[in-house]
Every structure is written in structure tokens, then in C-alpha cells.
Amino acid sequence: MTNQPEKLWNSSFIFLILANWFTFMSFQMLIPTLPPYMEELGGSKFQVGLVTTLFSIGAILSRPFIGHLLQTQSRKRLVLLGSVSLLVITLLYSFTTAVLIFLAFRFIHGLAWGWSSTTNGTAAVDLVPKKRIGEGMGYFGLSVTIGMIIAPSLGIYLYQNFSFSVLIYTSVSLGTIAFVLFSLTKFRTPDNIKNKTLKDEPFTFWGSMIEKRSWYPAMISFFNTFGYGSIVTFIVIFGQEQGIEQIYLFYLFNAALATIMRPITGKWFDRKGPWLLIMACSVLAFAGMWTIALADNFYYIIAAGILFGAGFGSMMPAFQAWVISKTTQERSGIANGMYYSTIDLGIGLSALLLGAISNYVETATLFKISSASFVIVLILTFLDYQKNKDVEWESEQT
């Protein structure tokens, strides 16, 4: 994009952040509630894992196509189409109690989510000045993280105290607000796309799924979300087993710490790069996982939320900014799609693998096992830090 202003905050960026927040609220409140609902429908432990896995497969399959479209199409049309698709499929959940049909809807939901999350993230990249990518995507990522953290608490509360239908209609209402806000947003499409000066390359699935310049931070992001996958799939079930009714406190304190840390970590990223930030946060996330595993009362849950919010909550936008910083404006849609696919792949594989072994170990053990993923994050980030520690960080953003 030419002549991109250095100003970060404007009405379009604010509307986009709010719209994305309501989108994630609408979506994330279903994440911890659909697995136990599947159990109510009579689904097996394996089918409970499929609730997350099929969704992730759908999202991953759709992203290469939307990543390709984002190289040549205007943003607003694609964003609004994704928002409407999410509304429709969410509403359909309330019309079935058949396990197989429910799982089919979950796969379709994944397709719509892959479309929507990729277009929304790319629209944010278009609005953020390149030299402030860490700070800008940090604030945009706050809408993702807070949605991922607050919404499950709301979803759990509605599911446990009202009904599944109330949960669905609340989700649809939040998604409708998001659609209205997206409609009010003025999107900025890169000039070479808007003026049709960018060569329309033929579509290839792998070429539109993987941005080679950004593959390394995306790979580390996979391990980051693998650990989180155990939480979104099993934390409600764990709370029921332990008799901890206040499991929602984990998400509440998680959100609070992620919000407090965001302005600090975003500026840290822009000045110093991602390495030390991610290494420190991976240690906090690891500690948070073990605190959950040892929990037998809500005080442990609060402590886990604080540790995990400061750690995982700070790493999410840092990884996205790192991925985007290594590619070009034209390929940012594909890079964004790859980043979000690593999230879905990490969560999906985590749910599938841990769901398969959940019959043989206690739920607390699943959290201990998945905590190893944050050790891998630490090691892989350290290796890249050793390789690049003598290179000025700003040189990667020019």
C-alpha cells in the first residue's frame, strides 16, 4: 500500500476491533459448551473430540481459498460474507439433536470461521502502519484474546443456568452486532489490488495455504495453541470432576491479565522483536497449565488464569505480528490464513489426541501432557533468537 498513514487510531480501526471482538465473543462462547452438549446428545468421548477437530479441519481447508481471493478482491464484501455465514450456521445448531448432523454442522461452521477470521485479520493489517505492526496487531489481537477468554465464561454460565437454545440465540445476537459494526467500517484495500495492478496468479492449494517467509513463527504458533486446546476442550469437564463450580474465574482473570499486558507487550514487540517476549510468556503459560492440573479449589483456578493470561494471552498477538512482519502487503492475506490455520490445527489436534487418551488417564494429566508444548515453544523461539540476536529487529520490517 502506498502512502500509508502513520496514524493508528481512527474510526475504521476502532469499528473493526469492536466488530472482531463481537465476532469472537459470538464464536468463542460455543467452544467450551459444545463438547459437554455433545455428551448430552449421547456422543462418545471420541465424538466429543471430533466437535473441535472437524471444526478445525473445515477452517484449515477454507483458508487457502480465501487467502487467494484476498490477493485480488476488496475487503468489505469478503468480510460481510464471512460474518453472515457465521450467523446462519450458528443458528442451525438449535435445530438438531442428532449427533452426526451436529458434527456435520460443526465442519461447515469451521469453513465459515476460516473465511471470516482470515478476512478480518487481513483487513486489520491493511489499516495498521507497518512500523507499528506489533502495537497495532496487539490491540487488534486484544479483541481476539478477550473474546477467547471472556466469552467462554459467558457461554458456560448460560449453558449451566439456562438452556442450549438461550446460548445459541445469545451467540447469534452478538454476531448480529458484529455484522452491523463491519457494515459501518471503512476498509482500506491495498492500492495494487484496488487498481487491479497486481497480477492474478493461478490458484494452488499449497501456494495459497503457506507463506514461505512466515512459516517458522507460524509453526511455533501451532505448538502454542496445542496447549490451549486441552483447556477449551476439557476445562469444563475438569471443573465438574473436581467439583469446582467457579471454573469461569479462569477465563475472567485470563482476560484481565491479557488486557493489562497488551499495551506493554505490543510496544515491546515493536522495539525488541518477538523472541524474549515469547520465551518469557511461554514460561508463564507452562506454569499456568500445571496450576490448572493441580487445582482442587477456585483459588488455583484464579492463579492459573493470571499466569495463563499473562503468558498465552500475550503470545497470541505477538505470533500474528511476527508472521505478518516477515511477508509483503500483498501476501498478508495468505500469511494471516496460515497463522489462523496453525491455531485451528493446534487446537484440533490437541482435542483429537488428548480425547483419544482421555479414557486412560485423569483429566488433570491431560493438562500436564499438553504443557510440554510450551516447552517446545520456548526451545524453538530460543533457537531463532540465537540465529537473529545480532540483527537489528527493524531491518525485518523494511
Domain ranges of the chain: 10-189, 210-388
Among 58-62, 156-160, 305-309, the range of highest mean pLDDT: 305-309
Cell of 280: 518469557
In percent, the amount of the chain with pLDDT more than 70 equals 92
* Tens digits of residue pLDDT in 22-53: 999 998 888 878 888 888 888 887 787 788 77
Residue 397 C-beta-side C-alpha neighbours within 13 Å = 19
The average pLDDT across 114-129 equals: 88
Residue 283 C-beta-side C-alpha neighbours within 13 Å = 6
In percent, the amount of the chain with pLDDT more than 90 equals 34
Task: Assign 291 a pLDDT band (cuts: 50, 70, 90).
Answer: very high
Task: Assign 278 a pLDDT band (cuts: 50, 70, 90).
Answer: very high
* Tens digits of residue pLDDT in 157-206: 898 889 899 999 999 999 999 999 999 999 887 766 666 665 666 767 77
The CATH code belonging to domain 210-388 is 1.20.1250.20
pLDDT at 398 over 50: no
Task: Given CATH 1.20.1250.20, say whether it is the number of domain 10-189.
Answer: yes
Q: How far apart are CA 398 and CA 392, in angstroms?
A: 11
- Does the pTM exceed 0.95? no
Q: How far apart are CA 362 and CA 41, in angstroms?
A: 23
Instruction: Tell me what pLDDT residue 395 has.
Output: 38
